[in-house]
Amino acid sequence: MIPAAAQNNHQCDDSQQGFTLLELVVAMAIFSIMSMMAYGGLNAVLNTHQHVGKQAKRLTELQTAFTFIGRDIEQTVARPIRDQYGDRVAALTSSNTRSGALIELTRTGRRNPGGYARSNLQRVAYLLDENRLMRLSWPTIDRAQDGEANETVLIDEVESVEIRYLDEQLKWQPNWPMNSNSSNLGNNNANSKPHQLPRAVELSVEIKGWGTIVRLFRVPEI
């Protein structure tokens, strides 16, 4: 005969041997839900990290581009040039139809690490080509007919570019030189001053996903 206490202990041991089928199903369901939540959270963190990385890279590209532009404009000098056709072009000009440039200028401070016998002046221009803001630079100030510009893409996904010029009366002008619709300074542009420079240049660039970025650059006094 088995004592009552021993029977009770045996029954308790049987009830603690494992989970029932229902308990197993519930536990697996809870584990699945928690796993999905953990995966979703991890995936969101990874996507956010990737997005932030892309935005940071894009921001660096934009900062570099505007540094290039600012360096060119802020080192502008009043030095007109002769183009490949021998025509005189103003020191700083907008909408040059021959080069397709939005703005074209002569700048100083050209680097010469090799110590070559050449001028420290450089002719540069900016143009919008297939939604890309590009910088052009020429090897010589006065161009030869076979001279080709070096092209550098600064910003892509550009939707529009607007440039204004601040004159001596502190009024904004849409074109430069004033009283001229062309950069060519022939007989049809007698009122233009080839050495004339604006006080400042305002650049507005509309970029996909970033909106419009506006920068103001001071032009050095002559």
| Residue 111 structure tokens | 């680097």
Give tens-digit pLDDT for 89-111.
Answer: 999 998 755 557 899 999 997 77
Residues 6 or more apart whose CB falls under 8 angstroms from that of 160 comprise 128, 205, 206
Specify the fold of 65-218.
Answer: Pili subunits (3.10.610)
Residue 190, pLDDT score = 38
Give tens-digit pLDDT for 105-147.
Answer: 999 977 766 666 667 899 999 999 999 999 999 988 888 776 7
Going from N- to C-terminal start, the domains of the chain cover: 65-218
> How far is 157 from 151, CA to CA, in rounded Å?
17
Pairing state between β 150-155 and 158-166: unpaired
Give tens-digit pLDDT for 191-219.
Answer: 467 889 999 999 999 999 899 999 999 99
> How far is 130 from 3, CA to CA, in rounded Å?
95
